[in-house]
Amino acid sequence: MFNQERIGLNSSYEQEGKVMFVIDAVYAMAHALHKMHQDLCPGKLGLCSKMDPIDGTTLLNYIRKVKIAGIGGNPVEFNPNGDAPGRYDIYQYQIKNNTAEYKMIGHWTDQLYLNIRTMQWPGGGKQVPTSICSQPCKPGWRKKIVKGISCCWHCERCDGYQYQADLYTCKMCRFDLRPNKNHTGCQPIPIVKLEWSSPWAVIPVLIAILGIIATLFVVVTFIRYNDTPIVKASGRELSYVLLTGIFLCYATTFLMISAPDVGICSLRRIFLGLGMSISYAALLTKTNRIYRIFEQGKMTVSAPRFISPASQLVITFSLISVQLLGVCIWFAVDPSQALIDYEDQRMADPEKARGVLKCDISDLSLICLLGYSMLLMVTCTVYAIKTRGVPETFNEAKPIGFTMYTTCIIWLAFIPIFFGTSQSTEKVSGDAVSLHGGG
């Protein structure tokens, strides 16, 4: 039987599975040498001087250019790196009829081919299970790569004021923008201001209108009975100044509600404290005059200086000019302007964020602006206390004293409430409006 073996369909011979790769390698080398011989030794049998000896680098270049059909039907070719393209058969371990076997479900040749219908999953299901490693992220969610596994990620939401800049990054919106509903971009923050229809505006406006009507009624009454003894005894010159200040306090309400711009903000600076300064300056001059008259009367029968109507007006307007001078200095140092405050109403929920259109009057500036009026008020109160013991027939002192006591209580209540509560466009304007409308 020696040397009698034959390879045929019925023989027991089984060829080694790697032989086909060896044959393909030999053919690739042969084709490369043949092409090289055709180029370097055209029309000549055997090796010419250019191929004797053979240059390995040149031969390698020809091998990389080979593209033939292999013995198994697969193409024999090489990529730019000199590697053969990957070809893989994909098998799945399956159990069928209590028998385990590997079943081919696809292959890889430059790209993946899978026969999903032949695949089996735990529990015998045919539905492809959902991947927990690389689930596609929804809009507004970024991919957070798992450390050490570049193809595996978790989805992380762009929250707060962030938006999705790309698949892997969330960025903050600009200070005047907020993210849209799905956090894929930014949009302008809505701008709000105190509206005339707001309760914070309607109630002060009604009070201001009633106050203006009452003030004008008193002015008309004073003008009608201007030469009567009662009007003359009340100090009609200072009374007109006082009524002017009260009128400005009520009229300032409309400036506080109007939409802020450069003009409105400038008028607010001028009239916000001017009305109160005029009122308190007139009252201070009047109470000071009463105090000096009765203090002088205790020592001598001669009248004190500067108690004439003209002198009283000069003193009053001198006090008022200090307020106007302070406002002028403020304009020179810091010109008036309207601005949009995006921080005051920057809520945790971007949907509730608002930009507040307001004048550039800070809390400190407001206190400085009203500080002179408060100084006049306190000084007037001191004189009102000193004149509390004047004769009953001198009927101005006690009403002035009562007015100053109640005014001090209102201011003492207003300041901690104003600075102790959270600021908002309606609170700031509403409080200032109420202060002037109820002044």
The H or E element spanning position 32 is helix 19-40
pLDDT at 213: 95
Task: Quickly tell me which residue has 């939409």 as its tokens.
Answer: 259
Please state, in angstroms and rounded to a whole number, the distance separating the CA atoms of residues 260 and 275: 20
Sign of the Cα torsion 32, 38, 41, 45 reads positive
Per-residue confidence band for 129, with pLDDT thresholds at 50, 70 and 90: confident
Q: Residue 250 has what DSSP assignment? A: H
> d(Cα 309, Cα 294) in Å, to the nearest integer?
17
**Domain ranges for the chain:** 19-85, 89-191, 193-437
Percent of the chain at pLDDT > 70 equals 84
Task: Report which of residues 2 and 427 the model is more confident about.
Answer: 2
What is the rounded CA–CA span in Å between residue 59 and residue 32? 7
Higher pLDDT, 122 or 391: 122
Mean pLDDT for the chain? Answer: 82
Predicted confidence (pLDDT) at residue 280 exceeds the cutoff of 80: yes
User: Given a cut of 80, is residue 26 above it in pLDDT?
Assistant: yes
pLDDT digits (tens, 9 = 90+) for 169-196: 999 999 999 999 999 999 999 998 888 8
155 close to 144: Cβ distance less than 8 angstroms = yes
pTM equals 0.60
**What size, in residues, is the chain?**
439
| CATH number among 1.10.10, 2.115.10, 3.30.70, 1.20.1070, domain 193-437 | 1.20.1070
Contact 107, 88 (CB under 8 A): yes
% of the chain surpassing 90 pLDDT: 21
pLDDT at 211: 92
- d(Cα 73, Cα 385) in Å, to the nearest integer? 117
Given pLDDT bands bounded at 50, 70 and 90, which one contains residue 215?
A: very high
Residues 372 and 320 sit within 8 Å (Cβ to Cβ): no
pLDDT number for residue 431 = 44
> Which CATH architecture describes the domain 89-191?
Ribbon (2.10)
**248 Cβ partners below 8 Å, 6+ apart?**
271, 274, 275, 278
